[in-house]
Structure 1
């Protein structure tokens, strides 16, 4: 039997569990991007040097390499290319190329939501400052300015007045691949925003789940996720409403089978909002934590789906205790000396450590997921125990810089 060949777009550490699981299934793994020193290439069977945002170049490489499946797991810039290649080669993917283009462009997605009767902030997309300045009366201030095509909260700013709009637009454009940005009304949260990975089979949402996403308000970019907690404290009535709306969205988009990273929230106006839906696994090792916490494997099923193999059954997940994805970070720049974790706390509550920085490495101020020092997976019996630990983190965690 011919060995299956899976192409993974990107080369970041987030791909390591995908490579490991694929190897367990006997799959030949090809990693692809234009940075040969990225860590994932050390663990794959073959490296392909190609820009993952150049869909035609990725297609030619995929045809030459005779792949059987393609993923852009936790790698946002490669999603559109992955969908394009899958469609052109007749390979399984979560959705069509056209739908991927809608989901991966915040302006197009906001338009789709509005046109199909979903709750959505008022929003418009632009590609230059002058166009946006001529349209300021459309919005209710404050507003959020963000690139249409970035992930991990890169380039996102809250703007209180017109005076600061040009600076926010420049930040967004600098973080945008397509050099386009979106302005939308600021929605005030009720409780916490959710960021979690869900799974569909033949268009049916079989694995819905929600988290509490917390931010470091003292960070330079206060919209960069710093903590994610499962299960969510969002009242069940709102979770049920969001699940129904997600299913309605998936039906309207005509999606197939696969993993999606979903950001959603409840606002003080009492409405639920689907903020983002991306046909890929989320960053910050979200699928990895959910797999560990629930006993179901999003990662394994996503590989099986991509290769057209029989998937494992998936059901709505249940969590054993309370799980936390703690993003290690610092709001100072320098050289990392040590990350010290209390040994008793480590044994009792830490289920996994994934450092991305080592002593002697340069450390940057926390502006996005790419400036993190790694992740800790924590488990507690109750949310109250976890909250206490987070409130007193100086007692069990010290990050020392030179």
Structure 2
């Protein structure tokens, strides 16, 4: 049994924009490699320019001629493929790979939730709370919008092109600026939800659900309105939070068929009620922290979620917290048994 890890930044030639995402890309790919290699013959799709980043044998490398091009060429040679990519590339890649080889949500789920406006529409139909929102292409009248709002591309990843707008006179400017980050020319203008920014990490086979952890996200708002995702802390241990998160996760998975493997839910806790701001049908940055604590158990759980016959034993007693924060071009990762001590060590 063999597996390919294909990540968009690592497997394409470097560009000025992609270098800004390199630290997260490297952390996710290297974490995935560590948790899978104990169970399956694991390879990494890598552009030659990034070969020196990885201390792995040459036999573990597939040299890339481009993310999509290489998947078209090599995907049929693997039993399973882990895809990590921005929305439009993820949709295209998952269609090429096909559901039988995807180690994660199906193509149908990826297509539905990679674009934020489509994802919100599905969630509202199943009575999941999402921010009130409007889609703009640039020419619509914005006079009826109630401030403050978040402006972001429907097809972006992370916090690229995302802004907090408090003044009406700035709204059109930020819509125009955010549109520059959208490859399909659409942005969402959504109500700003006060609360705690968090996420949920889940593994499922479509029936059984393992809510791995609740996480805290570290979000910064600069004076110019730009919103920046800096990192987070994984493995919160709050029974009430877990119960509410499980209820939300079950509603989504049971109502929308095709979820499997690992996926993440970004949300805001407002008065301890969850508002979903995004469903990520792929490995997310929180995976890095989970891999630090769970190790190879994480890989085993993901393989089992797609009916792999892998044999392994899962540890039951999990201790500690992992924080990760981006400082310039590096992603700093820290483990600590004390939550408050970890927050202080991250200097946040």
Q: Give the Cα–Cα distance (whole angstroms) in 1 for the partners of residues 77 and 173 of structure 2.
A: 46
Q: How far apart are 1:109 and its partner, in Å? A: 0.7
Secondary structure at the counterpart of residue 98 of structure 1 = helix
* Residue of structure 2 aligned with 1:248, choices 251, 257, 262: 251
Q: Give the Cα–Cα distance (whole angstroms) in 2 for the partners of residues 292 and 67 of structure 1.
A: 26
1:313-324 equivalences under 5 Å are 319-324=318-323
Query: Does the CA contact (< 8 Å) of 2:5 and 2:32 recur in 1?
Result: no
Q: Which residue in the other structure is 1:326 paired with?
A: 325
Q: Give the Cα–Cα distance (whole angstroms) in 1 for the partners of residues 155 and 311 of structure 2.
A: 30
Q: How far apart are 1:222 and its partner, in Å? A: 5.4
1:41-80 equivalences under 5 Å are 43=56, 44-52=60-68, 57=69, 60-62=72-74, 66-73=77-84, 78-80=89-91
Cα-Cα RMSD: 3.2
Q: Give the Cα–Cα distance (whole angstroms) in 2 for the partners of residues 207 and 320 of structure 1.
A: 16
1:131-142 equivalences under 5 Å are 131=140, 134-137=141-144, 139-142=145-148
Query: Does the CA contact (< 8 Å) of 2:334 and 2:342 recur in 1?
Result: no
Q: Give the Cα–Cα distance (whole angstroms) in 1 for the partners of residues 122 and 208 of structure 2.
A: 20
Q: Which residue in the other structure is 1:37 paired with?
A: 49
Q: Does 1:197 align with 2:201?
A: yes
Q: Does 1:292 align with 2:248?
A: no
Q: Give the Cα–Cα distance (whole angstroms) in 2 for the partners of residues 184 and 308 of structure 1.
A: 40
* Residue of structure 1 aligned with 2:132, choices 122, 129, 141: 122
Q: Give the Cα–Cα distance (whole angstroms) in 1 for the partners of residues 72 and 91 of structure 2.
A: 15
Q: Under a length normalisation based on structure 2, what TM-score does the superposition of the two structures give?
A: 0.80
Task: Give the gaps of 5 or more residues in structure 1.
Answer: 330-371, 394-402
Q: Which residue in the other structure is 1:369 paired with?
A: none
Q: Give the Cα–Cα distance (whole angstroms) in 1 for the partners of residues 345 and 103 of structure 2.
A: 40
Q: Does 1:273 align with 2:253?
A: no
Q: How far apart are 1:23 and its partner, in Å? A: 4.2
Q: Give the Cα–Cα distance (whole angstroms) in 1 for the partners of residues 206 and 312 of structure 2.
A: 13
* Residue of structure 1 aligned with 2:29, choices 15, 32, 35: 15
Q: Under a length normalisation based on structure 1, what TM-score does the superposition of the two structures give?
A: 0.70
Task: Give the gaps of 5 or more residues in structure 2.
Answer: 11-24
Q: Give the Cα–Cα distance (whole angstroms) in 2 for the partners of residues 318 and 174 of structure 1.
A: 47
Q: Which residue in the other structure is 1:384 paired with?
A: 340
Distance 1:28-1:272 versus aligned 2 partners, 3 A rule:
closer
Secondary structure at the counterpart of residue 141 of structure 1 = coil
Query: Does the CA contact (< 8 Å) of 1:261 and 1:278 recur in 2?
Result: yes
